[in-house]
Structure 1
Amino acid sequence: MHAAIIFNHPYEGSYCNAVLKAVIKGLARAQCTTDLIHLDKEGFNPVMTADDLRAFKQRQPVDSQVIGYKKRLDQADHLIFIFPIWWELMPALTKGFIDKVIFPGVAYEYSAGGYRMLPLFKKIKSVTVITTMNTPGLLYRLVFGNAIRKAVITGTFWKMGYKNRKWINLSMVKSTSDKKRKQWLIQLEKRFSVLN
């Protein structure tokens, strides 16, 4: 079993980094190998260029990092995203990863009629998105419309046909007690220690 983790947070002391460590620890307990795609450390360029858009039409990516990411994701049984929610959305590197890697000819193809997406990452059994934010969860849901659920869980991975999708959102991180933040990490480690 193999998990690919797409991680986006530039600050080593962030709670997202603590989440990443807990997830990796849990995966190790599950005897699951991991491939960490650390978008900040890998210097990923999130900008869609004219060449990228031309390649979109031809279903042939031209960005060497995207081509490398395709090879890495082809090996994954589980896909795990970890990122903070900033101004109610994902950071630019995560958005750019979705724009440039969840791409026709890389992550999916269209059905013969052109209306349905067919996933090309054939091994993937589950997609999990883990986010942190300082907004209260109820406010995020009622006022901001669960933007991450709509954009990533539904608008990207449901559309591509992945059935096992989960969003774990840790809200009000900044104002939450150290005790509760530690409990969240224990729960995450436990959750991923039984991934199969």
Structure 2
Amino acid sequence: MKVVIVFNHPYEGSYCTAILTAVMAGLKTAQHEVDLIHLDKEGFNPVMTTADLLAFKNRQPVDPKVIEYKQRLEHADHLIFIFPIWWELMPALTKGFIDRVIFPGVAYDYTPSGYGMKPLLKNIKGITVITTMNTPGFLYRLVFGNAVRKAVITGTFWKMRYPNRKWINLSGVKQASGKKRNKWLRKLEQQYALL
């Protein structure tokens, strides 16, 4: 199976980077092919431009980086996003990736009625979002309404009818002990060794 990972964290010593390492180790143990899109290292511009919006109407992206990502996603069987939750949402590069790459003519098109959506990346059999945050999980659910779930899992991939959507959220990371963090990493590595 080919897995595309979309990763967004600028600091190489981050816990997100440790998660990326664990997930990739598990996938390699299972002998899956991994294609890493490291948004912070690849010079991705997250800003939607006038040219992008004009291309939106024609269903044809114009940015060479977006076209490259389209080609990489077309070969994916599974898509994994890994990013931190900052101010209750995803960082700008992840949001820009969704705005500019999860695009009509790339990831979806509209149904003939114009009201519904249908997926275009036909190989994708599942999408996983792995996030970290310092906010306690119960507070994120009760006060902030699971904003990432609503925006990414439901508001993006459910709406486009992609199957097998999953969100793994590691909360209270700053307060967690080293032992607990290591346990999370081992669990993720084992989980992806069985994917």
Q: Same fold (TM over 0.5)?
A: yes
Instruction: State the Cα distance separating 1:162 from its structure 2 match.
Output: 1.3
Q: How does 1:56-135 map to 2 (within 5 A)?
A: 56-135=56-135
Give, as a single letter, the amino acid of the residue that structure 2 aligns with 1:50.
T
Q: How does 1:166-177 map to 2 (within 5 A)?
A: 166-177=166-177
1:144-169 deviations in Å (ceiling 9; x for gaps) = 00000000000000001012000000
Q: What 5-or-longer segments of structure 2 have no aligned partner?
A: none
- Percent identity among equivalent residues? 73
Supply the distance in 2 between the matched residues of 1:111 and 1:141 (Cα, whole angstroms).
Answer: 33
Corresponding position of 2:6: 6
Instruction: Say yes or no: does 1:41 pair with 2:44.
Output: no
Corresponding position of 1:53: 53
> Which secondary structure state, in structure 2, belongs to the residue aligned with residue 23 of structure 1?
helix
> Which secondary structure state, in structure 2, belongs to the residue aligned with residue 187 of structure 1?
helix
> Which secondary structure state, in structure 2, belongs to the residue aligned with residue 13 of structure 1?
coil
Supply the distance in 2 between the matched residues of 1:142 and 1:162 (Cα, whole angstroms).
Answer: 27
Q: Which moved more, 1:132-141 or 1:109-118?
A: 109-118
| CA root-mean-square deviation | 0.5
Give, as a single letter, the amino acid of the residue that structure 1 aligns with 2:142.
L
Give, as a single letter, the amino acid of the residue that structure 2 aligns with 1:78.
H
1:98-121 deviations in Å (ceiling 9; x for gaps) = 000010001111111111111111
Give, as a single letter, the amino acid of the residue that structure 2 aligns with 1:144.
F
Corresponding position of 1:191: 191
Q: What 5-or-longer segments of structure 1 have no aligned partner?
A: none
Please, what TM-score do these two structures have when normalized by structure 2? Answer: 0.99
Supply the distance in 2 between the matched residues of 1:163 and 1:52 (Cα, whole angstroms).
Answer: 27
Give, as a single letter, the amino acid of the residue that structure 2 aligns with 1:107.
A
1:52-74 deviations in Å (ceiling 9; x for gaps) = 00110111111110000000000
Which consecutive segments of 4 or more residues in structure 1 shift more than 3 A? none
Supply the distance in 2 between the matched residues of 1:90 and 1:43 (Cα, whole angstroms).
Answer: 18
Supply the distance in 1 between the matched residues of 2:21 and 2:62 (Cα, whole angstroms).
Answer: 32
Corresponding position of 1:178: 178
Please, what TM-score do these two structures have when normalized by structure 1? Answer: 0.99
Instruction: Say yes or no: does 1:159 pair with 2:159.
Output: yes
Supply the distance in 2 between the matched residues of 1:122 and 1:143 (Cα, whole angstroms).
Answer: 36
